[in-house]
Every structure is written in structure tokens, then in C-alpha cells.
Amino acid sequence: FGLTGTPINRADKNTFYAFGADTDEGGYMSRYGLNDSIRDGATKELHFEPRLVDLHIDQKAIEEAYAELTQGLTDEDRDRLGKAAAKMSILVKAPERIRAICGDIAKHFQEKVAPNGFGAQVVTFDRESCLLYKQELDRHLPPEVSDVVISVNSGEPEYAAFKRDRDAEEKLLD
């Protein structure tokens, strides 16, 4: 008798061929979908709501500041600096942007999420962004309302405070 949550459909191994019901065109013996799992309490219902934060970039001010900062540099050095400054991580970690996003998250959480008994998860660009978001969220909400869950490797003192064993992480996420 075969049970699987993740059917395999390859030439050398095929769950549908080995265990599927001839009466089902798709080769399934039975189907247990997301709605079944939510109904049984094995999975929590997920509500996803993308949020947009209005962020204005003053291109003229940026160009003027750039010209002033790069005065005296060669064209080659100016181009190299411009490419480095244009990286996505600089934009996504801009303090003004993080303030606006975290303000929106906190407001939405207080008005829509918490009153309905739900929890929330915020996914960020990278681990550094995660810490920046946590710091800003703590300005809007009590610090115990949010926590950081990241992978921490040895030799990373800036993230050491967030290293947890599996039991501690499961307790936090429960």
C-alpha cells in the first residue's frame, strides 16, 4: 500500500503508475488537497495580501548629490561607483522605505490581523533586512509582538542572538 504527499513522476519512479487507481484518469488513488488539510486542522489557512508602499525617488536630487560627491573622479571611477550605488539592496534597505513599509505593516496588523486572532509573517530581502525590519517594527509595536527567524551560521556574531535549536524554533512558531 503506497502513501505519498509528494507524488513522483519520473521514468525510473512513478507513483501514479505504481499506486494509482485505474478508475482515475490522473492516476490518483485518492486526493487530499489543501482544503482537506485545513478542514482537518493539519494546515492553517493562509491569507496573502501584497502591500504597496508609495516611495518617491527624487531623481534630480540624487543626480545633483551624485555629481557633487563624484567631483574630481575619472569617468571610469564615476561609472564604477554609479553601478555599485544602483544595486537593489541599497534601495530595499533605504531607511525611508523600511520606515514606510513597517508603518504600513504595523497599522495593518493592528487593524486587520490581530483583532481576528491571526498571526503574520514578513519575508524580507535578506537577513540584514530582517534585522532592520525588526528594529523598525519595534518602534511601532511592542517588541514581544514580533521575532526574527533566520538561519545562523557559526562565525556570524551579528546574527548569533537569533540562533535557536529546532525545539526553540518550533515553540516560537507554534
Q: Are residues 167 and 151 in the same domain?
A: yes
User: Cell numbers 487507481 correspond to what residue?
Assistant: 21
Q: Are residues 27 and 82 in the same domain?
A: no
Phi (first) and psi of residue 148, to 5 degrees: -110, 130
The predicted-structure confidence for 112-151, as pLDDT tens digits, reads as follows: 999 998 888 898 989 999 999 999 999 999 999 999 999 9
The predicted-structure confidence for 50-107, as pLDDT tens digits, reads as follows: 777 666 667 787 778 778 888 888 888 888 887 777 677 788 888 999 999 999 999 9
d(CA 58, CA 150): 34
**Domain ranges, residue 93:** 47-173
Q: Are residues 61 and 39 in the same domain?
A: no
Q: Average pLDDT over the chain, rounded to whole?
A: 83
> Cα Rg for the chain, rounded, in angstroms?
24
Q: Are residues 104 and 19 in the same domain?
A: no
The predicted-structure confidence for 58-68, as pLDDT tens digits, reads as follows: 778 777 877 88
Q: Are residues 87 and 1 in the same domain?
A: no
Rounded to whole angstroms, what are the CA distances from 59 to 64, 65, 128, 140? 9, 10, 26, 30
Q: Are residues 67 and 124 in the same domain?
A: yes
Q: Are residues 79 and 113 in the same domain?
A: yes
Total of domains in the chain: 2
